[in-house]
Structure 1
Amino acid sequence: MKTASGAQLDFGRLALLVLMLGVGWYFWDSPVFWPLKVLVVMMHESGHALATLLVGGSVDRIHLAANESGSCLSSLPPGFFAKVTVYSGGYLGSAVAGAALLLATFRFQLRRWVLGAACVWLTVMGLLYAGDLFTLAFCLGTALVMGLGAKYLPDGMVDVLNLFIAAFTALYAVFDLRDDLWNSAVRSHSDAALLAELTYVPSIVWAVLWTLLAVGLLAVAAYVSMHAKPKGLQMPSVSARARRA
């Protein structure tokens, strides 16, 4: 299967992505994946923080909790647009992060740069905005793990780790929206509820809109990644490794 540009579907990449998604889905409730879930919550809150800065506001502090909840406390400039942007930044931010990870991992094959960028991001967010000891410890501890992995892990292990983080982030972004869409108890305390109060548009409408945007973004990122021609730093495809073996 080819795109208009002539890039072919890499079935090895596709199979690996499906495998990673399946592992994440099947072992979703395993405590082993707890750090990854909190990591994606940090992506969600970072989306709020980035949106706040983009509209000219200031971020006061970010809180993460062991129960996989989080909050971003900000000072916003007056205006309807600013509030809509910031309230929407969390859900869409985690989806954008998942799409960016898919592209960086599969298309651009950045390997250690992905872990290095995550290390810098977590360090900056922790030092600037952590509002409690748990948030600071999680950000700096995870940043240390990412940094050590970027420096010392073999290339194959870096590849597997990047692939799984990308797949898990995309999966969690969709699950996060699913909970707000179908669980009315959660939705009543979510960003969708804040937007419903602001706009008088029902929270479930916002949840549907965010879900469509997030799923569409992730689908496009996955499609482009699976069809892209390798550029720059390259990770051999699964089929190429099999032939050499």
Structure 2
Amino acid sequence: MQTASGARLDTKRVALLLLFLGVGWYFWDSRVLLPLKLLVVMMHESGHALASLLVGGKVDSITLRMDESGACLSALPPGVLRKVVVFSAGYLGSAVMGAVLLLATFRFRLCRWVLGAACVWLAVMGVLYARDSFTLLFCLGTSVVLGLAAKFLPSEVVDVVNLFLAAFTALYALFDFRDDLWNSQVRAGSDAALLAQQTWVPAIVWAAIWTLLGIALLGWAAYKSMHGEHRSSQMRMPPLSSARRS
């Protein structure tokens, strides 16, 4: 299917994305997916950490917990704008990573580079900022797994792993908005409530802003990922049969 702008809707990509979104949703409460959930929580906390460094602050520690909660402790220079950037970077950071993974996997076909970059990111964050054994072991252990996968898995399997990571990260980011920001009890202890204390802007307003921006970003990334220019329409995609066997 081709639009007036020359972009082509790749039905294989759409089918794969829907398949993996469905798998993630159906098995959402399975303990098997806990490592992936913790991986996205690490993306959330890494967003806070990176934003803290960008505004001239210092990151003290990052913590992950088995209940899928996490924390990034940092020291920031004075200024409301800096706090807005840092507090917003958690939920939006997860959405950004979901968008990046969608584009890197579907649009740019970076294949092993996706897993390799994730391997390096986790190792760096663990060594520099983990202050407890669980966070350190998770970061280093997952880094090793992703590094070995990037190095030794067949290309077709790497494609499937990348596709599922991209879809699951996007799904988790959306569920994060729903469960954390639109549940009044949970929102009271969220980043939105903490930022409301600093800015006097109600937490529900920050929730709305972050949700709209996150959904818009993920929607744009999904649209770009599902469409390709005519000249790139022959990009190799893993067959649907391979995805089903995963």
Q: Same fold (TM over 0.5)?
A: yes
Given that 1:3 and 1:227 are in contact with CA atoms closer than 8 Å, whether structure 2 keeps it comes out as no
Q: Write the distance in 1 (CA, Å) between the matches of 2:146 and 2:6.
A: 35
| Deviation string, structure 1 residues 82-140 (Cα, Å, up to 9, x no partner) | 00100001000000000000000000011100000000000000000112110000000
Aligned letter for 1:221? A
Aligned letter for 2:185? A
Q: Which position in structure 2 is the counterpart of 1:228?
A: 228
Q: Which position in structure 1 is the counterpart of 2:179?
A: 179
* 1:165 equivalenced with 2:183 (yes/no): no
TM-fit CA distance, 1:60: 0.6
**Cα distance change, pair 6–201 in 1 and its aligned pair in 2 (3 A):** same
Q: Which position in structure 1 is the counterpart of 2:207?
A: 207
Q: Write the distance in 2 (CA, Å) between the matches of 1:30 and 1:66.
A: 14
Q: Write the distance in 2 (CA, Å) between the matches of 1:87 and 1:147.
A: 31
Q: Which position in structure 1 is the counterpart of 2:70?
A: 70
Length-normalised TM-score, structure 1: 0.94
1:228 alignment partner, SS class: strand
**Cα distance change, pair 121–4 in 1 and its aligned pair in 2 (3 A):** farther
| Deviation string, structure 1 residues 130-176 (Cα, Å, up to 9, x no partner) | 12110000000000000000001111110110000000000000101
TM-fit CA distance, 1:234: 4.5
1:158 alignment partner, SS class: helix
TM-fit CA distance, 1:66: 0.8
Poorly superposed stretches of 4+, deviation over 6 Å: none
Q: Which position in structure 2 is the counterpart of 1:7?
A: 7
Q: Write the distance in 2 (CA, Å) between the matches of 1:44 and 1:72.
A: 9
Given that 2:182 and 2:207 are in contact with CA atoms closer than 8 Å, whether structure 1 keeps it comes out as no
* 1:85 equivalenced with 2:93 (yes/no): no
Aligned runs of 1:35-114 on 2, under 5 Å? 35-114=35-114
Q: Write the distance in 1 (CA, Å) between the matches of 2:209 and 2:36.
A: 26
Moved more, 195-204 or 222-231: 222-231
1:82 alignment partner, SS class: helix
Aligned runs of 1:183-202 on 2, under 5 Å? 183-202=183-202
Aligned letter for 2:2? K
TM-fit CA distance, 1:181: 2.7
Q: Write the distance in 1 (CA, Å) between the matches of 2:236 and 2:50.
A: 31
- C-alpha root-mean-square deviation of aligned residues, in Å? 1.8
**Cα distance change, pair 184–137 in 1 and its aligned pair in 2 (3 A):** same
Q: Write the distance in 2 (CA, Å) between the matches of 1:127 and 1:143.
A: 11
**Which structure 2 segments of 5+ residues have no match?**
none
Q: Write the distance in 2 (CA, Å) between the matches of 1:50 and 1:228.
A: 31
**Cα distance change, pair 156–7 in 1 and its aligned pair in 2 (3 A):** same
Q: Which position in structure 2 is the counterpart of 1:118?
A: 118
1:78 alignment partner, SS class: coil
**Cα distance change, pair 4–133 in 1 and its aligned pair in 2 (3 A):** farther
Q: Write the distance in 2 (CA, Å) between the matches of 1:2 and 1:81.
A: 43
**Which structure 1 segments of 5+ residues have no match?**
none
Aligned letter for 1:65? R
Q: Write the distance in 1 (CA, Å) between the matches of 2:146 and 2:236.
A: 19
TM-fit CA distance, 1:196: 1.1
TM-fit CA distance, 1:237: 5.8
Given that 2:63 and 2:72 are in contact with CA atoms closer than 8 Å, whether structure 1 keeps it comes out as yes
